[in-house]
């Protein structure tokens, strides 16, 4: 019985880690997109 509980906890921990990593990756992508967008706006205003 303890083995099943341990497996459930391990799978939950793996899901949590994967979720955190993918969230950090998504945030990084969004930030880079925002930086590109502000650069585009700056170049449009300057021209």
| Predicted confidence (pLDDT) per residue in 5-41, tens digit | 999 999 999 999 999 999 999 999 988 888 888 888 8
DSSP code for 47:
-
What is the value of pTM for the model shown?
0.56
pLDDT at 1 over 90: no
**Confidence at residue 33, expressed as pLDDT on a 0 to 100 scale:** 87
**Confidence at residue 21, expressed as pLDDT on a 0 to 100 scale:** 95
pLDDT at 47 over 80: no
**Confidence at residue 16, expressed as pLDDT on a 0 to 100 scale:** 95
Cα–Cα distance, 36 to 28 (Å, whole number): 12
């Amino acid at each position: 019985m303890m083995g099943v509980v341990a497996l459930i906890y391990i799978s939950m921990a793996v899901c949590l880690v994967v979720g955190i990593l993918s969230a950090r990756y998504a945030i990084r992508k969004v930030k880079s997109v925002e930086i590109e967008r502000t650069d585009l706006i700056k170049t449009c205003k300057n021209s």
